[in-house]
Structure 1
Amino acid sequence: MARGPRKHLKRLNAPSHWMLDKLTGTYAPRPSSGPHKLRECLPLVIFLRNRLKYALTKKEVQSILMQRLVKVDGKVRTDSTYPAGFMDVVTIEKTGENFRLIYDTKGRFTIHKITADEATYKLAKVKRVQFGAKGIPYLVTHDGRTIRYPDPIIKVNDTVRLDLETGKIIEHIKFEVGNIAMITGGRNMGRVGVVTHRERHVGGFDIIHVKDAVDRQFATRLTNVFIIGEGNKPSISLPKGKGVKLTISEERDRRRARAAHQCFVDGAYRGLISEDDVEYPEIIDKAKILDTLRLFTDFK
């Protein structure tokens, strides 16, 4: 019979969006208790070692953190398993880099660099609004912050913009039709679009209909929708792709185009294809492409 909290995590049981391979080891870093859930966070050790490649081992990550070089939301963090999560700002002052943890259209945390000005604030979704002891009103955000005496106009599911230095609300974005949102859960995780309709289901889950930048419509639960700006203008910068999910055929075509372009460049480098052919790929002879592909196949 188990006694006490679990202190380990098997690699096969780790969240898939951490993208850990099966053969490197048996265990994965178990996130510490913090503002984000275990399956919705990214520990600093994975961010620094696996994503940024600033370290090779956890011991190297710990030495970086103990120099107090890494800040999350403006506060120094020395715990290698600290659970950074959605909308958190990770700052590395020695390199002058700022990152915001945000999802790509496959539901994974992407390395999204931001400017120093954008790193001064973050967006937070309001999860609860109620009265505390002595009738003091307060709200709770998605990252566990408790803010007392909020504006009475702020309701549940709205988004607030927080100043990371003071922790105070500097802007309020209402949850309403016509505002741009990012999906934070479900099969549409990471997609960005404008809210077009809200289906209310008493005793069940409200369904939100969203339309993205290429006019593709999809629906998800209310709890998965995170408003990120008024109208169709987001209050934060978006990662590559702007939250538009490609179809399987579009991904295939993009993959083929990228491979063909690399083939042209390598062929020109080896003297098999002229620079004019690389500049105008539509005039390349099919035989040249086959010869180049055959050469690289033999080379490998």
Structure 2
Amino acid sequence: MARGPKKHLKRVAAPKHWMLDKLTGVFAPRPSTGPHKLRECLPLIIFLRNRLKYALTGDEVKKICMQRFIKIDGKVRTDITYPAGFMDVISIEKTGEHFRLIYDVKGRFTVHRITAEEAKYKLCKVRKIFVGTKGIPHLVTHDARTIRYPDPLIKTNDTVQIDLETGKITEFIKFDTGNVCMVTGGANLGRVGVIINRRDILALSMWFTSRIPLATPLLPGCPTSLWSARVTSRGSPCPVERVSASPLQRRETRDWQPSRAAA
């Protein structure tokens, strides 16, 4: 009979987007409990050892973290298996580098370098809004932040810009038609497109789904659930152009045929 939480993770059972080879070992680092789920995060040890190549072994990663060199969202993290997730800001003060975890077009976390000014904020999706004790309104984001007294205009599924130093909301973007969003789950993970409509359907316990076109203008829209769509900007075509210029999008555009699209 099992007692307590699971503490191990087999390497073959690890998320595919971690890109771990099967023959290096039997086990993979199991993420600690935190703001992101196991299948939606990237442990700090994999980011430092496998992505940045700043360490060769897990022991070296631990020595780096215990010297308090690594910050996530402005806070020092010494846990080598801390789960970093979408839009998290990872800072290394000793080298002066800042990174933001975002998805590439293949649905994998990519090493995206940002400036010191960009590292001062992050975008969070609003998961829930409720009224707590004594009638105080609360807002819960996708990274488990709870903010009191939010703007009354902010609704569920909107995106808020949070100042990492103060933890307060500085700006928000509505989940409206015409805004640019990124898909963070499902078969279209990593896609960036413009919201063209919102269609409500009844499917088990999921009531809403949003239809989002692909970044390539020649391709038809790809549907995704409301839970997986996260608004990133107000109708700016810049993110779409950046993604459509990738080799994957160019290959899809080259293989596109009008007869198939019409069918």
Q: Does 1:228 align with 2:232?
A: yes
Q: Matched residue pairs, number?
A: 251
> Structure 2 length normalisation: TM-score?
0.89
Equivalent-residue separation in structure 1 for 2:240 and 2:72 (angstroms): 19
Instruction: Deviation per CA, 1:73-126: give whole Å up to 9, x if none.
Output: 000000000000000000001111110000011111001001111110000000
Equivalent-residue separation in structure 1 for 2:249 and 2:66 (angstroms): 44
Structure 1 position 238, deviation (Å): 8.9
Instruction: Deviation per CA, 1:255-281: give whole Å up to 9, x if none.
Output: xxxxxxxxxxxxxxxxxxxxxxxxxxx
Q: Does 1:112 align with 2:112?
A: yes
Richer in strand (by share): 2
Partner of 2:211: 209
Partner of 2:260: none
Amino acid of the structure 1 residue aligned with 2:248: L
Equivalent-residue separation in structure 2 for 1:185 and 1:110 (angstroms): 15
Equivalent-residue separation in structure 1 for 2:72 and 2:113 (angstroms): 14
Which of the pair has more CA radius of gyration?
Answer: 1
Q: Does 1:153 align with 2:153?
A: yes
Equivalent runs, 1:135-154 vs 2, <5 Å? 135-154=135-154
User: Do the aligned residues in 2 keep the contact of 1:86 with 1:102 (CA within 8 Å)?
Assistant: yes
Cα distance change on mapping 1:26 and 1:139 into 2, 3 Å: same
Q: 2:248 aligns with which of 241, 246, 249?
A: 246
Secondary structure of the corresponding residue to residue 196 of structure 2: strand
Structure 1 position 241, deviation (Å): 3.4
Amino acid of the structure 2 residue aligned with 1:105: V
Cα distance change on mapping 1:209 and 1:135 into 2, 3 Å: same
User: Do the aligned residues in 2 keep the contact of 1:104 with 1:239 (CA within 8 Å)?
Assistant: no
Equivalent-residue separation in structure 1 for 2:38 and 2:113 (angstroms): 24
Partner of 2:199: 199
Structure 1 position 206, deviation (Å): 2.0
Cα distance change on mapping 1:124 and 1:16 into 2, 3 Å: same
Secondary structure of the corresponding residue to residue 201 of structure 2: coil
Instruction: Deviation per CA, 1:42-77: give whole Å up to 9, x if none.
Output: 000000000000000000000000111110000000
RMSD value, Cα: 2.2
Q: Does 1:72 align with 2:76?
A: no
Partner of 1:20: 20
User: Do the aligned residues in 2 keep the contact of 1:92 with 1:98 (CA within 8 Å)?
Assistant: yes
User: Do the aligned residues in 1 keep the contact of 2:216 with 2:249 (CA within 8 Å)?
Assistant: no
Instruction: Deviation per CA, 1:221-266: give whole Å up to 9, x if none.
Output: 11110000111257xx79963686826955999xxxxxxxxxxxxx
Q: Does 1:3 align with 2:7?
A: no
Secondary structure of the corresponding residue to residue 12 of structure 2: helix
Secondary structure of the corresponding residue to residue 205 of structure 1: strand
User: Do the aligned residues in 2 keep the contact of 1:190 with 1:243 (CA within 8 Å)?
Assistant: no
Equivalent runs, 1:1-300 vs 2, <5 Å? 1-202=1-202, 204-215=206-217, 216=219, 217-232=221-236, 241=243, 246=248, 249=251
Equivalent-residue separation in structure 2 for 1:134 and 1:209 (angstroms): 39
Equivalent-residue separation in structure 2 for 1:147 and 1:45 (angstroms): 29
Instruction: Deviation per CA, 1:166-192: give whole Å up to 9, x if none.
Output: 000000100010100000001110110
Equivalent-residue separation in structure 2 for 1:240 and 1:23 (angstroms): 35
Instruction: Deviation per CA, 1:132-176: give whole Å up to 9, x if none.
Output: 111110010000000000011111000000000000000010001
Q: Which runs of 5+ in 2 are unaligned?
A: 256-263
Cα distance change on mapping 1:121 and 1:238 into 2, 3 Å: farther
Amino acid of the structure 2 residue aligned with 1:221: S
Equivalent-residue separation in structure 1 for 2:51 and 2:145 (angstroms): 27
Amino acid of the structure 1 residue aligned with 2:212: V
Partner of 1:276: none
Partner of 2:259: none
Richer in helix (by share): 1
Taking only the aligned residue pairs, the percentage that are identical comes to 62
Structure 1 position 212, deviation (Å): 3.6
Equivalent-residue separation in structure 1 for 2:101 and 2:34 (angstroms): 16
